[in-house]
Amino acid sequence: MEKAAVLTVEKLTELLGREFSEAFHPDGGLSILQVRYGGARVRQEYQKNATRPGGTLSGPVIMQLADVTAYVAILASIGWVPLAVTTSLNINFLKKPPPRALIGEGRLIKLGKRLAVAEIDIRSEAEPDLVAHATSTYSIPPW
């Protein structure tokens, strides 16, 4: 039988909004859509205000969505371990996205005691084509 997520979308949203308010603040446009053991789906709202960093669908916004999606997938799988840190991220940009929300779909391809590795697909909402594909690694402190 497959394992279940150990934290719900609601609980993760609350904890991340409190502890990582720089990324998960109300104006940031990030929302967790779904979690499972080993995976997560996160949405980045389109923001047309180009005068703020993160206000457009530029590379850094896509990289942030990839990192956040993987991080949520890890927390959903091992519980609230906020000291897990990103140790590396590799991303290929495949297609210029239209002005629309982005969806990050992440799955853990390794979940060890000290190290997690995630793979993340980034697409425009309701579009089949990949906008970007990332892999990222995380160091997990003893827990």
Residues that bind a second copy (CB under 8 A): 21-23, 25, 27-28, 50-56, 58-61, 63-64, 67, 85-96, 109-110, 114-115, 117, 119, 130, 133, 135, 137, 139
Are 88 and 137 a contacting pair, CB within 8 Å?
yes
Cα 64 to Cα 60: distance, rounded to the nearest angstrom: 6
Cα 47 to Cα 56: distance, rounded to the nearest angstrom: 6
Residue 105 CB, shortest distance to a second copy, in Å, is 13
Are 42 and 103 a contacting pair, CB within 8 Å?
yes
Q: Which is nearer to a second copy, 8 or 139 (CB)?
A: 139
Residue 9 CB, shortest distance to a second copy, in Å, is 21
Q: Which is nearer to a second copy, 8 or 21 (CB)?
A: 21
Termini Cα distance of the chain: 24
Residue 70 CB, shortest distance to a second copy, in Å, is 11
